[in-house]
Amino acid sequence: MWHISNETAQKELYSHIASAAESGWDFSSRWFTNVNDGLKSIQTRQIVPLDLNCIIYKVETILSDFYSNIMNDTTTGMNYKNKASKRFSDINDFFWNEDFGSWLDYDMSKQDHNKEFYASSFFPFWLLSNSDNKQMKIRFKKAYEKFKSLNVFSYDGGIPTSFIDSGEQWDFPNGWPPLQYVAVHGLLNVEDEDMRKSAKFAAKNYIETAYLTWKETGHMFEKYDVTKRGKGHGGEYDVQEGFGWTNGVALNFLSIYSNELSSTVNSGSVKNYISFSFTILQSITVLFFHTMM
C-alpha cells in the first residue's frame, strides 16, 4: 500500500479508481500506464474505451427506433439516428488501428492506441456487425485473423480477458462470462463460416469449464481461469460463487449448441450437460424466490 498526502492528488487518484469501477473492469492493466506499478499508475479517465462507445452507439439506435416507431416522434428519432450514424463512423475511424489490425482503446495521454489485446475488441463484432458497410466487413475479417494470430481462441477455458498477467482480475488468465457472450455472439453476427467455428469452439470451452468446475466444487463462479479450467483469481477480493451472468451465459450457449455439442470430457457428456443445465435453472429459481421473500 502507498500513501498520498496531497489532497489534490488523492482526489485525482480516486476519480481514476471510481471510473475504472464504474466501467465494470475493476481493475485491469487496461487502465494502467505502467503494469508493474499497478493501481499507482491508474489513469482511467485518459482512456477512451472502445466497448463503452459501442454500447452508446447501440443505445442511440434503440432510442431512434423507439421514438420514431413507438412514440411517433420522428424529430427525436432522427436526432438519435444522426447521433448513431456519427458514432458509427467515429468508432470505425478513431478506434481502428490498421497496423495492429483491430479496434483498440485510445490513450489520450499518449495520443495513440493501446496496442494490447483486450476482449473488449469483440464489442464491434457484437454491436456494429449489422451494417452493410463494406469497409467494416473487411475489418471484421482482418481483426478476426489478428485474434487467431494471437491465439485468442487457443485456450481450453475460454477467451482470455487480456494477455497481461497483472494480478488484477480483469486480466490474464481470467475469462469472464459476459466477455465470452460478447465474443461468441459477435462472431456469430458477422455470418462468416470460420468465425462461426471459432464461436462454437469458444462456447464449448466455456461450457466445459463451467461444467467441470461445478462438478468438482459444486459451485458456479463469477470468472474462470482459461489456462486450467478452474475458478478465476486475482484482484482485490476472493472469487465469488454464484453467479448470475455465469449461469445465464452457460444456459444461452447450451440453448444455441444443444444439438451440436460434442465433448472430450467423457462419453456421457451430453447427458451430463442436460443435468448441468437443470442444476443451473434450479439455482436461478432458488435465488429468485429468495430475493422476492
Active site residue 222: yes
Domain identity same for 286 and 164: yes
Same domain, 177 and 224: yes
Indicate whether 189 pLDDT > 70: yes
197 Cβ contact partners less than 8 Å away, ≥ 6 residues apart: none
E strands in the chain: 47-48, 96-97, 102-103, 106-107, 112-113, 174-175, 220-221, 224-225, 230-231, 241-242
Cis amide leading into 243 (omega within 30): yes
Which among 107, 171, 222, 225 is annotated as catalytic? 222
Q: Residue 4's pLDDT is what?
A: 81
- Say yes or no: 267 and 178 in one domain: yes
Q: Is the pLDDT of residue 165 over 80?
A: yes
Inside any domain, residue 227: yes
Q: What is the mean pLDDT of residues 53-75?
A: 98
The gap from C-alpha 230 to its chain's centroid, in whole angstroms, comes to 19
Identified catalytic residue from 26, 105, 171, 208: 26
Catalytic-residue membership of 26: yes
Composition of the chain by helix, strand, coil, percent to 5: 60, 10, 30
Q: At residue 59, what are phi and psi to the nearest 5 degrees?
A: -60, -40
| 104 and 24 both lie in a single domain | no
Angstrom distance (rounded) from CA 243 to CA 250: 11
Number of folded domains in the chain?
3
185, 53: one domain: no
Structure confidence at residue 135 as a pLDDT band (50, 70, 90): very high
pLDDT in tens, 227-244: 999 999 999 999 999 888
Residues 2 and 68 in one domain: no
* H/E segment holding residue 212: helix 193-217
Asked if residue 54 and residue 33 are part of one domain, the reply reads no
- Look at residue 251 and tell me if it is in a domain: yes
Residues 293 and 166 in one domain: yes
Range of the domain at 24: 1-46
CA distance 167 to 17: 16
Are 163 and 285 part of one and the same domain?
yes
Whether residue 66 lies inside any domain: the answer is yes
Residue 20 shares a structural domain with residue 88: no
Is 291 a residue whose pLDDT tops 60?
Answer: no
Is 138 domain-assigned? no
Burial group, residue 219, by CB count within 10 angstroms (0-12, 13-18, 19+): middle
**Residue at 55 is within a domain:** yes
Average pLDDT over every residue of 14-38: 97
Domain boundary among 106, 124, 142: 124
The verdict on residue 144 lying in a domain is: no
Residue 212 is placed in which grid cell? 467441470
Three-class secondary structure of residue 114 per DSSP: coil
Together in a domain, 87 and 225: no
Sign of the torsion angle spanned by Cα atoms 254, 257, 263, 267 = positive
The three-state secondary structure class of 112 is strand
To the nearest whole percent, how much of the chain has pLDDT over 70? 89
Residue 83 in grid coordinates: 447521433
- Are 26 and 65 in a shared domain? no
| 198 is a domain residue | yes
Cα-Cα-Cα-Cα torsion 143, 146, 150, 154, nearest 10 degrees, comes to 70
